[in-house]
Structure 1
Amino acid sequence: MRDWFGEMYKKHEKLGDFEYLEGKGKRLSRDVLEGDVLDRTIKSANFVPEWVQKRKDILVEMKNVIELRPHLDDQELEEKIDQVNALVRKYNRKCPPVMQRGLVSEKNLEDRYKSWQ
């Protein structure tokens, strides 16, 4: 099995591509050496996992249903709750298992909204 990364590194090292890197020869700062490399890289890249965005979308939808609730008949309310639950199911498929949430019902809508905040 070939080491593609190692080959690329050696090629660029021979070409001198690493000679003029900012900070070459200086000590690394403490914050670079601490914590999880993946977490730090994701944060510095401003990357938002899809499930985090879905969580925000669910909060918006739940708030809309709560605000519209007095103006909806039973069937419309049920349809809106079904839409929220469809989003919750998508969220549960994308997020880490410990972050999964239960479905929403007419009875627990406000409580679920508070727990999602």
Structure 2
Amino acid sequence: MSLYRGDFMDDIVGNYEKSGKMSDLHGKGKPIQPSSGDPLQGVLKEANYLPGWLEQQQLIRKGILEAITLLEVTGDSPSNMQICLNKLNADIAQYNKSCPPIMQRGFITVENIHTKLEQWS
């Protein structure tokens, strides 16, 4: 047996086939059905993988809800509200760098916060 990895894998598959285990494979002799849509997304979905930008999207939505609570319920000071909005907008900038271009979103102000919440829902 050679130390070359390709030869090693060929030996493993060859031994598996010689033992008769390849004849019982599910779907043997049938054409492979291509998955619809993006193959990468299909693999990620099968693996229950959530891309980082989707996790970030959920965190930003939660942050918007907290900012609305600060604004409406507690009547927080404008300086505290601006600090909260600055953090949210920094998170949005980071999100925009990592998500697909079509999913990018604009920044949040006190005036548009309710409209932006709808966009993030």
Q: Which consecutive unaligned segments of at least 5 residues does structure 1 have?
A: none
Q: Deviations over 1:60-79 (max 9, x none)?
A: 00001101113211101100
Does the 8 A contact of 2:92 with 2:107 survive in 1? yes
Matched, 1:25 2:28: yes
- Number of aligned pairs? 112
The 4+ residue runs of structure 1 with deviation greater than 4 A are 4-9
Q: Deviations over 1:84-105 (max 9, x none)?
A: 1011011011101111111101
Larger Rg: 2
Q: TM-score, structure 1 length as denominator?
A: 0.80
Q: What amino acid is the match of 2:28?
A: G
Q: What amino acid is the match of 1:73?
A: S
The Cα of 1:39 is off from its aligned counterpart by 1.9
- Mean CA deviation greater in 63-72 or 74-83: 63-72
Q: What amino acid is the match of 1:103?
A: F
Secondary structure in 1 matching 2:96: helix
Q: 1:23 to 1:111 in 2, by over 3 A?
A: same
Matched, 1:116 2:117: no
The Cα of 1:25 is off from its aligned counterpart by 1.8
Q: Which consecutive unaligned segments of at least 5 residues does structure 2 have?
A: none
| RMSD of aligned alpha carbons | 2.4
Percent identity (aligned): 21
Matched, 1:68 2:74: no
Q: TM-score, structure 2 length as denominator?
A: 0.78
- Mean CA deviation greater in 33-42 or 5-14: 5-14
